Structure 1
Amino acid sequence: MVFLSVCPPAWGKQHFYTQRTAICYESADDLQEFDQKLRFMPPAHFLEIYFRQVEPAPTSSLGNLAAKIDGLLAAVCRLLRLRPQTFPRLHIILLKDGYQVQLRHRLFQPSPARPFLGYGHLLAFYESGHHTIFLSLADFHEGVLAHEMTHHLLCTAYQPPPPAQIQEAWASYVEAHLK
């Protein structure tokens, strides 16, 4: 399987699960950095419903991280006017920096004829075949994650998925209107 051969250093490490996502990370420090940089806070009514569904209700910061991630995904769904229940689990792989993200991207897009991305730094990208976001921790903010979540939702909600230009327009819209 291509996916396992592509990301052995990231995929085989530690995992953190929310109701709708699986986050793969190298160390607890990476997950803590991700939590600190994710400043999005879902509305109070979302948190009330979310924590009623989780047994037992989490008291640690990781419980809040799960709510922030799933809340962000719900906010993106709301902006796109999509129902979140119908989507497969989203995988998020946290990588050290944009160079590591670029290396993973080149494994999925090995053609040297893709100069528009360059060969150095890439904040994040979504790989639709495995429902996976590859994300640079060094460059992370919730706008980047919301942008890539938009690609995930559009690629899974519509068959065939919208063209890349349409997806980018929607992803930019979501990034600009995220609260």
Structure 2
Amino acid sequence: MHRARKIIAGAIVAGALFLTGAALASDAPQKTLETRYADLYYRDDETLRSFGRQIGAISFFSRDGARTAELVAAQLEDIVSRVRRRLDMYPEGPRFNIRVYPTYLEIQAVYMTYDMNARAPIAFYAHAARSIYVSVADVTDGVLAHEIAHAVISIYFVTPPPARMQEILAQYVDRHLWDE
């Protein structure tokens, strides 16, 4: 009887997450900001503004919405350039995507679409889609640099190195992003 309750509870949770994922698909990022290295996808101007604040592109008190995209693009290019320098990897070729969602719940729903059974991290890179997934609620310049490191490493090598090796390099980048 106890096992049956667990199965039913599991089915209810899985169903709720599936329905949440389906509902969130309609709320997927709609706008695009192209930069030198990546395409940033986001839902609306407020999401872009919040993302920009989180990664240090714009001040919390900034009200100049007209320049938000320009400032975010410049900060993204700076972060990608720093990541490439820290890794001493300068891949030519395919760009990658950064998909920004407002909440962690949306990241978790996307993570499940990749058949990941574990709890979703606050951000992740999916090599098959060449996409970084982040939530505005959890992103920082360090978190973003960490995921960009995964993208750069995966693009640089014909066969990406093992996940643990990538993780060591990505953590190094995260810790030393602003070192000169």
TM-score between both structures, scaled by the size of structure 2: 0.76
CA deviations over 1:138-173 (Å, ceiling 9, x no partner): 011011100100110111111211000000000100
Within-5 A mapping of 1:1-150: 7=25, 9-11=27-29, 13-39=30-56, 60-84=67-91, 86-110=92-116, 114=117, 117-118=118-119, 122-150=121-149
Which whole-Å deviations, capped at 9, do the CAs of 1:63-117 have from their partners, x for residues lacking one?
2211110110010000000125x0411111111222211111111125xxx4xx3
Q: CA deviation at 1:61?
A: 3.3
Whole-Å Cα distance in 2 between the matches of residues 17 and 76 of structure 1? 18
Gaps of 5+ in 1: 42-58
Q: CA deviation at 1:7?
A: 4.9
Distance 1:88 1:77, change over 3 A: same
For the pair 1:175 / 2:177, whether they are aligned, the reply is no
Counterpart secondary structure, 2:28: helix
Amino-acid identity (%): 27
* Aligned counterparts of 1:23 and 1:92: Cα–Cα separation in 2: 5
In 1: Cα distance, 2:37 partner to 2:124 partner: 19
Separation in structure 2 between the aligned mates of residue 81 and residue 155 of structure 1, nearest angstrom: 14
Post-superposition offset of 1:122:
2.9
- Which one has a bigger Cα radius of gyration? 2
- For 1:30 and 1:124, locate their aligned partners in 2 and report how far apart those are by CA, in whole Å: 16
Q: Deviations over 1:17-51 (max 9, x none)?
A: 1122111111100000111111269xxxxxxxxxx
Q: Is the contact between residue 55 and residue 141 of structure 2 (CA under 8 Å) also seen in structure 1?
A: yes
Residue type matched to 1:105 in 2? Y
Question: Residues 7 and 80 from structure 1, CA distance in 2 versus in 1: closer, same or farther, beyond 3 angstroms?
Answer: farther
Amino acid corresponding to residue 50 of structure 2 in structure 1:
E
